[in-house]
Amino acid sequence: MQRSLTAPSRQHNEAIQFRIILAATYPFFLAAALAQRVLPGRAQARRGLPVMRRSVFGEAKAMAVSAIPFAFMG
């Protein structure tokens, strides 16, 4: 039996869902990344170790991309 070309695959559906969840949660992770930058007390900075930082936007995306897969477990 042939599948219709208009019916998206399961993998495509999951990719779309991932992007939607990323877009919905990104502002929260952006606020968290901003709060981490503003609040003092980073352990690496106190020890004198070099701090390699991403941009606030990159850090927010990294946090979101690492947390979102938990929504797909189950």
Please report whether residue 64 resides in a domain.
Answer: yes
The tally of domains found in the chain comes to 1
- Name the pLDDT band for 51 (thresholds 50, 70, 90): low
Tokens of 60: 């927010």
Q: Are 30 and 57 in contact (CB under 8 A)?
A: yes
Q: Are 32 and 56 in contact (CB under 8 A)?
A: no
Extended strands (E) in the chain: none
More reliable by pLDDT, 31 or 45: 31
- Name the pLDDT band for 14 (thresholds 50, 70, 90): confident
Please report whether residue 47 resides in a domain.
Answer: no
Tokens of 13: 């559906």
Please report whether residue 28 resides in a domain.
Answer: yes
Please report whether residue 24 resides in a domain.
Answer: yes
Q: In which domain, by residue range, is 67 found?
A: 13-39+54-72
Please report whether residue 45 resides in a domain.
Answer: no
